[in-house]
């Protein structure tokens, strides 16, 4: 039996947009639609709200000034798209729906799958500069919380958490990591070390795993003892082909047995990531 206090997270925003017949194959993914067609993004968010999501994540994950310049967007256009990301989610939300502003990793703007690898080969200062201005804008849109997601690297997370603490010390957030092998985050280090890092920050509301296959989640959570609740939103178990800009392989979705395992291990927020449509969301109710 699932926990009645379990919160339902949404699924793959880009997946839902593709189901509308929209192309999500540019370097900034959903971020480009936030510039050209924010109404479609609102409709995709709404499909998850209608399916029972308590929390929806904005489409800001792939948006960056660096990525915008490479695709011909001015800094003003990128800023407008960042602001649109929260607005599009707010327009879809019910009164009790929480909106989480997505903070993707530095690797996301490289558009080569680096969020599953880490080890970017750049300085800590470059990573801080990448996040600084974008974070200011997203905080200014007044989301309910932040989603630091698909993080492969402990150094980058430390930089981000220090930035948030200095800019908005009362803003709640979760941090979720990509996990390549059970117990190990993608960029090096263990999930236990990741949890210990996040625990040091007072406004962390959860720590967990996203955009990772089902097979790694239970064995990874079971190796960690943390006071923080877990957040879990796996992908559909497919492999990202950065050359083809597509997922390959057969999808596999979480079922009630998975949910019960995760809840027993301390999960309190559960949803889906890439590949999850509203109809595929984990059955938590």
- Provide the b/e sequence for 49-66 (b: ≥16 CB within 10 Å): bebebbbbbbbbbbbbbe
User: How would you write 134-198 as a 3-class SS string?
Assistant: HHHHHHHCCCCEEEEEEECCHHHHHHHHHHHHHHCCCCCEEEEECEEECCEECCCCEHHHHHHHH
Gap between the Cα atoms of 237 and 225, Å rounded: 26
Which residues constitute the domain of residue 273?
A: 7-280
* pTM of the predicted model over 0.75: yes
Q: How many residues does the chain have?
A: 285
In a domain, 178, yes or no: yes
- Token code pair at residue 198: 């996040």
- In the numeric block, which tokens belong to residue 36? 């050209």
Give the per-residue pLDDT at 247.
65
Q: Give CA–CA dist 13/85, Å, rounded.
A: 12
Which residue numbers in the chain have pLDDT < 70?
1-4, 240-247
User: Rounded to 5 degrees, what are φ and ψ at 270?
Assistant: -140, 135
Q: Does residue 285 form part of some domain?
A: no
Structure confidence by residue, pLDDT tens digits, 84-123: 999 999 999 999 999 999 999 998 887 777 777 777 888 9
Q: What is the CATH number of the domain that holds 141?
A: 3.20.20.330
Is residue 50 one of the residues assigned to a domain? yes
Contact 207, 231 (CB under 8 A): yes
- Whether residue 1 lies inside any domain: the answer is no
d(CA 281, CA 32): 25
Residue 83 domain-assigned? Answer: yes
Residue 222 belongs to a domain? yes
Nearest by Cα to 192 from 181, 204, 183: 183
Predicted pLDDT at 73: 85
Q: What is the pLDDT of residue 109?
A: 80
Residue 69: inside a domain: yes
In a domain, 2, yes or no: no
Query: How many domains does the chain contain in total?
Result: 1
């Amino acid at each position: 039996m699932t926990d009645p206090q379990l919160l339902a997270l949404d699924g793959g925003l880009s997946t839902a947009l593709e189901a509308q017949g929209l192309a999500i194959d540019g370097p900034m993914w959903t971020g480009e639609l936030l510039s050209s067609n924010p109404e479609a993004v609102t409709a995709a968010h709404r499909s998850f709200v209608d399916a029972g999501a308590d929390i929806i994540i904005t489409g800001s994950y792939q948006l960056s000034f660096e990525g915008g310049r490479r695709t011909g967007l001015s800094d003003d256009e990128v800023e407008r798209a960042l602001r649109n990301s929260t607005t599009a989610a707010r327009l879809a939300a019910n009164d009790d729906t929480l909106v989480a502003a997505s903070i993707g990793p530095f690797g996301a703007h490289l558009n080569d799958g680096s969020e599953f690898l880490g080890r970017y080969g750049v300085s800590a200062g470059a990573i801080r500069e990448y996040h600084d201005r974008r974070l200011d804008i997203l905080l200014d849109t007044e989301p309910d919380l932040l989603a630091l997601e698909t993080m492969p690297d402990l150094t980058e997370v430390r930089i981000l958490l220090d930035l948030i603490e200095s800019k908005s010390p009362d803003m709640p957030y979760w941090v979720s990591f990509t996990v390549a092998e059970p117990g190990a985050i993608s960029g090096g280090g263990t999930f236990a070390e990741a949890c210990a890092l996040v625990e040091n920050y007072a406004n962390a509301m959860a720590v967990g795993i996203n955009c990772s296959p089902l097979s790694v989640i239970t064995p990874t959570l079971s190796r960690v003892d943390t006071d923080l609740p877990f957040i879990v939103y796996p992908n559909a178990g497919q492999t990202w082909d950065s050359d083809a800009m597509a997922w390959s392989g057969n999808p596999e979705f979480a079922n009630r047995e998975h949910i019960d395992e995760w809840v027993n291990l301390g999960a309190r927020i559960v949803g889906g990531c890439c590949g999850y449509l509203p109809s595929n969301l984990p059955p938590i109710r």
